[in-house]
Amino acid sequence: MALYSQGRSAEAIAALTTSIERESSARAEFYLDRARDARIRADRSDREPPVISPAF
């Protein structure tokens, strides 16, 4: 959580993933989601909407 607060998203993701693998907690998962969101926003890697093709 400290890494996320410092703006170090990539390191926070790695640390929180390891933490959750050892013992899951709602708080760690919450901050993992926020760190992932921060990384996506910083990278601007989610610009295009998804393409949905129905399969009949």
Q: For the whole model, what pTM was predicted? A: 0.71
Q: In this predicted structure, what is the pLDDT of residue 50?
A: 81
pLDDT tens, 1-56?
788 888 889 899 999 999 999 999 999 999 999 999 998 888 886 678 888 999 88
Q: In this predicted structure, what is the pLDDT of residue 31?
A: 94
Residues 6+ apart with CB under 8 A from 32: 12, 13, 16, 17, 20
Q: 20 with 32: CB under 8 angstroms?
A: yes
Q: In this predicted structure, what is the pLDDT of residue 40?
A: 86
* Per-domain residue ranges of the chain: 2-43
Number of helices and strands in the chain (H, E): 3, 0
Q: In this predicted structure, what is the pLDDT of residue 25?
A: 94
